[in-house]
Structure formats: structure tokens, C-alpha cells
A = this chain, B = another copy of it.
Amino acid sequence: MAQYRYFRLNDDGFTGKGSVMLNELSATEAASAIAKGEITSEQFVRACLGRIAERDGLLKAWAFLDPDLALSQARARDAAEERLGPLHGVPVGVKDIIDTADMPTGMNSPIYDGYRPRNDAACVALMRKAGAVILGKTVTVEFAGMAPPPTRNPHNPDHTPGGSSSGSAAAVADFHVPAAFGTQTAGSVHRPAAYCGIVGWKPSFDHFNIHGVRAAAQSLDTLGLLTRSVDDAELLGAVLVGREAELGAQPPRPPVIGLCRTHLWQQAKPESVEAVEEACDRLGQAGAEIREFPLPEDFAALSDARNLVSNYERARATSWEFFTHPELLSPQLHASVERGLSVDYRDYAAAIAHAYDCRARLNPLMEGVDALIAPVAEGEAPEGLEATGDHAFVGFWNLLHVPSFALPTAAGPNGLPVGIHLVGAFGNDIALAKTARWVMDRIGKQA
């Protein structure tokens, strides 16, 4: 870890250019360095705050950041007689739809401006118990919905970072913090991960506890992680579910990978098609067995089914805000709730039934296949901040409840990151992480 030698911190900790390298440590590296006494949590947090001070005026990744509060947590970790857990002293960013007892949770809505929940979300409490420092709250799309946030893509500020976990992805990609929480109802972890060139982990539905996370659509909402490495996702994920992290763990043999073009293949831009095909070529050369993996034809209906389920459930989850503060909702969300409240219940029930049926059929189909590779987004991040891009390539998978990673493996015509989607069978999160590591070791691009 040669980069430590470059570490030099100004007294105020917020402007030192010498701190650039330290903030680039991964969560795994930082946890290890803190445990060994090579650095303190305060030094690492100061380095992160310094990077944020330099960059966030432009990028707008943070919805709430109190440097004193972050540093006081770090100093408490440094002063602790015992290491609390595997994340001792490591800062983590929290999407601003996730409750925090000591910071506001604004949800990017004027209705919750300055709102301070009574309690931490389960995921935040578990992070703290493992020693993490809750650095601050990252910008979310309004209620993790559709209105565009002010956040910019760190690779090119004229492009969207994707959404709705916009701030988490931009902050991690730009080395403000090594890891952050995101949530996904359609593509809100993977699209920003892909657009920002980092790792997104959307685990199996209900894999992580979601108590204290603002609901969007209850049968779809999944808590996920944005990191710059598979190991960091593993490190935090293991804490959340209560097991030992298997850092660096490899699959028992080169994986069997299904090339899954999906019903949306014709809508993918050349850079996404190339990213998928090139990944399969290179992984095949590296020893993976690549098979074509067509989905059953009726899985194409999952795209419309997801959108209908999401509209229907979101309208109900947002009903108090819609009925009592309609003028404070964005026009996009207001229209979405209106649509969702008018969805015919029988259409909703039919969509749910189709999802249950497809879920039950997918795991048997995936027997003998370690993972599928599919497009994760239409292409690289679109220009402009007026929209956060298309979630279609991830959305229908989300209705299937399967675990998946967004992995940065390529670049597009504008030099922006392009990723692939690595999908596992329901419940196979641990094995999928090993396959993802194997893939990243061979074809991953560093952020």
C-alpha cells in the first residue's frame, strides 16, 4: 500500500492536496490500515472530507454533511479501547432516504426538509455497531423516484450520474468515501454504478434488512451497496447479514456463464452490446464456459409488469404526501402517483402472479450456470442533468428478486464508463460475489 507515503494532512484537514491519495483507499484497505495503526480513522475521514471540499461544489453528491459530526465519530473510534468490528473507523455514505438518528433525512423533498427521524435504519445501526463512521447523507432522487437531482457525473459533469442513488455513486466514484448505501426499485443501484464506473451490488430481495429505508414499492425495494471493489461490497454485506467476510474468495473452478441478451437486446447501444460480447469473449479465453442463455419468451412481459407494480405500489406508499402536500411533489412524481392510484387492482394482481411464476421457474433454469451476463444500461451516461437515464435493462430483473452486480468493464464513445450486469440465482449471493470477483480480476476497469 505504497500510497500511504504520500499522505500529508493540513491542520484544517479540508484543503490539503496531499490528502488525495489517502482518500482513495478502499474500505478493506482502510479497515486494515486502521486496525494495524498505520493510519487513524480521523486521518482517513479528514482525507475524505478534504476531497469532498474540493469537489462537491461541482458534483453535489452530498445532501447533508457535518464535518464535525463525522470527525467526532472518527475520534471516538480512534479512542476506543477495543475494535468494534470489521469496519472500525471506516466512513460510509448513506442515501438520503435512509433514516439516521443524528442527521436529517430529507428524501430530496421539501415535505421532509430538516426531518430528523427518531432512530437509525437497521443498516445504519449495524454499520455503526461494526465500527463504521456515518460520514453523511448522499443525494437521492426525490423519494428514490424520477425527478432529476442536481448531482453530476464525476467523469464528466455535463452528464448524469444516473439515479436514484445518484449521490452515493458519484461520491464513491469520485473518492469521497469508499462505500455507500443505495436502494433499487428499478435500476437505482446499477444504473448509477454503471454510469459512474463503480461496482453495484443489488442482492437478492430482502437479503439486507430494509427497516428504516423509505419505501418506494415494497415488493421491489432492495437495499444495495456502491463500492469500488467486490471485496468492499463483501466486507459491508457480510456485516449486514452477520457472517464472516470472505475477502478475496475465488470460485472453486472457472465459472459457467450464460450470455443473456434479454428481450431488450435490440435497444442496447453499441457500447453496451460490445461490453457484453467482449466480456464473454475475454472471460471465455480466461477459462469460463460461455453458453447462450435465452430467457423464456414470456419473461419479456416482466418489463411492463415491473412498471405497473412499481406505479401501483409507489402511489400507495406516497399517498400521505400526495393527499396532504400535492403542491410539494415534483410534477413527475405527482403524475406517477395519479397513474398508480388509477391502476386496476386486477392488473396489478396479474403482474404479481406473473412475477411469482417467473421467479419459481428461473432458479431451476439456472442450475449449472454460475451467473448470467447481460446489458446493465442502454449505454454510457447520457448528456444533461434533466433525466437520469433508462432503467429498463435492470428493472425487469429486479422484479425477479435475483441478486446481481453492476461491474465496470468498458468505456463508451465519449470515454465514459460502461458496465455489465452479472446476475445470479435467487439466494446465491455469496457464490455470485465470488464469480464477480473472478470477473473483475480479469476484465474489470478501475474507477
Chain A residues with CB under 8 Å of chain B are 101, 112, 115, 118-122, 124-126, 128-129, 206, 209-212, 215, 218-219, 240-243, 312-313, 316-317, 319-321, 323-324, 341, 343-346, 348-349, 352-353, 356, 359-360, 426-427
Contact = CB atoms under 8 A, between A and B. Distances in A.
14 contacts: A120-B320, A122-B215, A125-B320, A125-B324, A126-B316, A128-B323, A129-B319, A206-B352, A209-B218, A209-B319, A210-B215, A242-B312, A242-B316, A243-B346
Interface SS, A side? helix
B218 A210 contact: yes
B118 A112 contact: yes
Nearest to A350: B427
Contacts of A212: 320
A101 B241 contact: no
Contacts of A210: 215, 218
B243 A126 contact: no
A217 to B, nearest CB: 9
| Central interface residue in A320, A343, A345, by most chain B CB within 10 Å | A320
B211 A356 contact: no
Nearest to A360: B360
Contact of A317 (B112, B128, B209, B321): B209
A320 B241 CA distance: 15
Given A206-B218, A343-B242, A426-B356, A317 B122 contact: yes
A200 B121 CA distance: 31
B206 A349 contact: no
A324 to B, nearest CB: 8
Nearest to A427: B353
A323 B341 CA distance: 39
A242 B337 CA distance: 13
Given A215-B211, A346-B243, A119 B352 contact: no
Given A118-B112, A218-B211, A345-B242, A129 B323 contact: yes
B112 A115 contact: no
Contacts of A240: 316
A316 to B, nearest CB: 4
Contacts of A211: 215, 218, 316-317
Contacts of A348: 241
Contacts of A313: 209
Contacts of A206: 218-219, 352
Contacts of A344: 243
Contact of A427 (B129, B242, B352, B359): B352
A121 B318 CA distance: 9
A209 B323 CA distance: 16
Given A128-B323, A206-B218, A122 B360 contact: no
Contacts of A343: 242
Given A101-B324, A129-B323, 11 more contacts: A122-B319, A124-B320, A125-B324, A126-B319, A209-B218, A209-B313, A210-B218, A212-B320, A242-B316, A242-B341, A243-B344
